[in-house]
Every structure is written in C-alpha cells, then in structure tokens.
A and B are shown apart, each in its own frame.
Chain A
Amino acid sequence: MTNEVDTDTRELVELLKDRVTGSIETSLDVCAHCGLCADSCHLYAGTGDVEQIPSARSQQLEKVHKRYFTRLGRIAPWLVGAEDLDEEVLDRLQRMAYQCTLCRRCALYCPFGIDNASMVSAVRSLLADMGRVPEPLQEHTDNAYEKGNTLAISDEQFLDRVEWFEEELQDAVDDDEATIPLDKEGARVLFVPTPIQIMRFPSVIISAAKILYAAGENWTMSTKRFDATNFGLFSGEEEKRDEMSQRLVDEMERLGAEVLLLSECGHSYWSMKYAAETWLGKPFPFEVKNIVEVISEYISEGRIKLDSSVNKKLVTYHDPCNLSRKGGLLDEPRACLEAACEEFVEMTPSGAEAWCCGGGGGVIAIPEYDGVRLEAGKPKADQMRESGAEMVATACDNCKLQLIDLAEHYGVDVSVVGVTDLVADALILDEEEE
C-alpha cells in the first residue's frame, strides 16, 4: 500500500514521522475519543463545529500518522480511521492548527491530562516545514525575523515614539527630569514592550514608565530590541522561534540587566519564562518577569502607593492563558487590581480555568479567520456580560484586541483596559516628604 504513495507525499510522510514521536505519540495513543475536551474549548463552544474539538485536531494528526506508520492503519485503515495525507487533509490541518489558540484549557478537562496544544504545535511545525503557514502570519513572522519586529517599525520611528512617550511621562509625573532611559548599561531591569504597544496601545508603555519611575527603579529600554513577541512560536518555525528568544537573551547580556521585564503580553512571558531555556539549551543568568508581577511586588513592598478611589468603575480581570493557566500568574494581577480599583469582580470561571478569549496563538493576525475568531469568543463575551463589570482589565495585547472586537460584536457595554494603565492612573506621586 505504501508503494502507491507518490514522491511528494513521501517527503511529507517523512516529515510527519519526525513530528510524531515521544510524548506526542504516547498522547495520541492514550486519547480514548471520549470527547470531554469538546465543551472545554472556546472554539467548539462558540462555533458548535465538530472540527473544532481539541481531540479532533489531535486525531487528524493521529489519522494520517496511523495510515503510514502503524500496522493496523496500513492493513485496515477503515477500522482505525486512518487517512491519506492529501490536499484536503492538509487544508483541514491548517485550519485546525492555526485557529486553535494553544490555550491548553482542554488539558485541564481531559481525564488523562492530554495536552492537545502539543499536538497542534507539532502540526504547525509540520505545516511550516511544508511552507503552509497562513500568509499574514508568515508575513508578521518574517518581518520580525528580518526587520527585528513584527510591524517593521524603523529605528527612527521608534526613537520618535519614545520621545513622545517621554514627554507624556514628564507631563504625567510633573517632572521635567523624568526620562525613559535607552540602552542604559548596568540597569537592573530591561523593559521590553511590543510593536503593537508602540503603535496602537502607547498608554501601556507610558503607564509602565510612570510606575517604574514612581518605584525609583533602575531600568532601561533597548533601541535594538523593542519587540517582546515571538511569532516564530506562532508560525511553528522553530529556527525563527529560537532566534527571536536568543535576541532578547543577547540584549540582556549586552546591557548586563538582571531582570527581563516583559510588557503586557501573554505568549512572550510564557516563551521566555518557561520554554526558551529549553529551546536554547541553556539556563539564563537573569530573571524573567511580567509587568503585572513586578507591579504587585512594588505594591507589597510599599515601593508605590495607590489611591483606589481614582478608579471607581466596577472592574473584572480577563486571564490571558499564557499568563494564568500557562504562566501561573494568578494572584499578581488581582493584587494590582484590588489595590488600584474600588470595586473588583471575578468572571466565572476565572484563573487557571478561565475561558480563552479566542484571540491568542497568532489567530488575530490572520484576517481570513476573523469570522471564526469572533464566534469562538462567545463564551468570553457572555462571561464579560454576566460579570456586570463596566471595565475589563487584562495584560496582553492579543487578548485586548480580541476583547475590544468581542465587546463590539456582541454589544457588551464594557471598556477594555490594561492592568498597567489602571495602576498608573491610581499612582500617588506627591508623597516625597515620606
């Protein structure tokens, strides 16, 4: 049977072989097709499409793998549902892999704890090997790889923006000496924002600067590396993924900083904190922290003081999957909001089991998937509405973009805001006599 396979397919099959090994193979074997993961996935809950069940994604990989690499799959493909790796299947795999946000909520609901995101990542890498990354995502990734950041912001543009950020900072803290330090060697903290914050959500950077200023932090930004994101992780191109994390490591080394402080962004935190050391095969001589983590430290150490009466609106928190479920930052953002806002309410479920907003994993960069992305956000939109909150705070660009879209699409009357912004607004700056 395998003799019938043509040369093109044979190459694909070889690639497939390398992708389905070890824990991936075991996980595929263990999945009992029970379907309990279905209701845990925002994509299935939102669309009702059986192609969007976490196990369906893994099974699609299992089906083609079985066809070529198991005895039963070769002898009796119909019995075990083995399928040829043809164009149709490749298209389906592409949809399945790049619409999934890699949020790993299903892993908490699987009786065997199977991590379907691992399988999806393997499929992404397989598709990347074949040059089948969705085009817009590929474009962002190539920009980041070749030009240093996903939006291809030039150095001049960046410096121009920072100049403006600095003016805003000076206004906000009423101090003409306040600066946004650039390339400062020996700074304790290197703060790295995201291109989208530089262009679309500048308040995040200004707010962070304000807080770092108020805390008297010895910090800096880099003129060389101002993109914390890692689109290589999204596209599945492992080489680019590794290179992107290596760049941040190199910059930490160049400036001699002790803490890599990542801005409001989910996947960059997960990448650098939990994965990059493994990808690059070496332990980092510095700490990786997210901005909400550092702010909560400042609060508990008394390095900044907040006046919660500034933020009177009822606030809820959307857990970015990469910070909460995958990142373990559950209490920190809540501590920030409790200190910065008068009233805080939780969505249910929240924390590690929070619904994914549907905007992560790179899907937001692919306009072709907009329809599915909005449908998939329904559980989150419902949660926001049911919470009764007037404001949804979060700490991730992708989440923010998605939540803004969801509020509009589903007519939920909430504003979307960053945790950092709320804290910055509540800062008490006039206690110098203390």
Chain B
Amino acid sequence: MGYWFAWFVSNLLPLITAVVFFGGLAYRVVRMWRSPRAAVSLVVPPRRRSLRSALGEIVTEVVTFRRVFKGSRALWVVSWLFHLSIFVFVMGHFRLFIDFSWLWNLLRLTPEQVDTLALIGGGASGTVFMLGLVALLIRRLRNPARSLSVPSDYLLLLLLLGIAVTGNYMRFVMHIDLELYRAFFSNLFRLRFGVPVQNTVFVWHFLLVQLFLIYVPFSKLVHVIGGVLTLKWTLR
C-alpha cells in the first residue's frame, strides 16, 4: 500500500466524508422533517393518545424492538444484539479521541482495569457485530428477505463486514497504542494534515468506515431517522 494512499485516506478523504455525511444527513433530516403527514390519519387502531404516551411508545420501540419481537423471536435476538453492539463499540471508539480520565477517576478504575473493560466491551461488541452481520447476510440470502433485497442491501452488509473484520483484527490480533491514534485524530480534528498512522489494517478500516459514512445519507440507513417519524404517524 502506497504512502500517498494512506495519506489520502487519513487527511483528505475525512474532509470529503465530513462534508458529505453531515451535509447529506442534514438534507435528509430537513426533507423528512418537512414531509407532511398523510391527509387521512394512519393511526392503527385509531385511538386518542397523548403526546407523552406516543413518545413513550416510540422510545420503548427504539430501545426494545418490540415489533420485531412480535414478528420473529430469532430475528429479534440477532437484530437487538446487533444494534446494541453498534451502540457499545461506537461509544468505545470515543476513547480514540480523548481519554476520559475524569470518568475513570470517578469510577475508581486503574488504567489496566479500563483496558480490560475495553477489551471485554470492544471484543464482545465487535464479535457480536460481526456474527450479527453474517446472520443478517444469510437471512437476506434466503426468502422471503431475498426477494426484497437489491444489490445495495448486500453491499451495505459487506461493507460493514469489512469494517468489522478489520476492526476485530486490530482488537484481537494487533497491539494498538492508543496515544498514537489520539495524536492522529487530534491533528485531524484541528484540520492539520499529518503523517498517516503506520498501520495498514487501520488505514483500510478507516477507509471503509468513511465509505460507509459517505453512503449513509443515500442509503436505507436513513431508517434510523425516518423510522421514528413513520412510527409516530401510526401512533398519534
């Protein structure tokens, strides 16, 4: 892998990613926000609900995936753990940007304990994420989901699988010196071009993550935002 490739992925591409991701997402959010509800009420079954109870139901739905549970227990286990793992490792990645020393002090954790915690949380979520992707991919390859799938659905899963594999490789096989990465990201966030991290796996991981982020606003992943809106339409 060439130096300039790594340089591009580490310095220039992030700018493009940020513009496309945030710009695209803002565009989608505004468009959806402005989307008028259907003229005739879509509430099923029709009943009066307070805003509070509707919001309560949306939160319950988002946290527990109740409707998925109702439809398929097996899919519920997979998709709930899958989405939980995303939440966990996204949180974990914040350690790459800053050290939450105040938090560790508050919790009275030694750096070694924090690392162990990260190993467990990161390792478990990374593994669950990867296995979840494989399960979702297999599900998509079989009917009825197969008949509903278009190439971009598979592409998205494969992209995420690439991210999972490179991420897990770094977590389980390589030794990662956090300081190096904190320095790199701190540079990046200050919009200073710098020397890319000398880690091919990381560069690939970072590249795939960015391709993913660039694709998000145009993909089915807008279900994360729009789903709340459509859900609300059927509740109140």
Contacts and interface: CB of A to CB of B under 8 A. Distances in A.
A278 interface: yes
A326 B71 contact: no
A36 B71 contact: yes
A72 B214 CA distance: 14
Given A22-B38, A80-B152, A114 B143 contact: no
A111 B36 contact: no
B35 interface: yes
A284 interface: no
B223 A274 contact: no
A32 B152 CA distance: 11
A274 B226 contact: no
Contacts of A30: 222-223, 226-227, 229-230
B147 interface: yes
B45 A326 contact: yes
A223 interface: no
Contact of B71 (A109, A327, A328): A109
B81 interface: no
B75 interface: yes
A30 B226 CA distance: 6
A199 interface: no
Interface stretch (B61-69, B102-110, B201-209): B61-69
Contacts of A115: 38, 42, 44, 230, 233-234
A107 interface: yes
Interface in B122-168: 143-145, 147-153, 155
B72 A39 contact: yes
B155 A23 contact: no
A40 interface: yes
B37 to A, nearest CB: 6
Given A35-B145, A36-B67, A36-B71, A352 B45 contact: yes
Given A107-B44, A324-B45, A328-B46, A118 B148 contact: no
A129 to B, nearest CB: 18
A31 B44 contact: no
B71 A31 contact: no
B192 interface: no
Interface in B41-55: 41-42, 44-47
Nearest to B230: A112
Contacts of A279: 39-40
A141 to B, nearest CB: 19
Nearest to B66: A111
A56 B233 CA distance: 21
Interface in B1-58: 32, 35-42, 44-47
B95 interface: no
B168 to A, nearest CB: 24
Contacts of B87: none
Contact of A22 (B35, B70, B143): B35
Contacts of A23: 35-38, 42, 230, 233
A33 interface: yes
Contacts of B68: 36, 111
B45 to A, nearest CB: 4
A111 B232 CA distance: 11
Q: Can you list the 9 inter-chain pairs with the closest CB atoms, starting with the nearest?
A: A81-B150, A50-B147, A113-B234, A112-B227, A30-B226, A35-B145, A38-B144, A113-B231, A36-B71
Given A26-B226, A107-B234, A326-B45, 19 more contacts: A22-B36, A22-B37, A23-B38, A26-B229, A29-B226, A30-B223, A30-B229, A33-B148, A33-B153, A35-B144, A39-B72, A50-B147, A80-B152, A111-B227, A113-B232, A278-B40, A279-B40, A328-B45, A330-B45
Interface of A: 22-27, 29-36, 38-40, 44, 50-51, 53, 55-56, 59, 72, 78-81, 104, 107-115, 118, 274-275, 278-279, 324-328, 330, 352
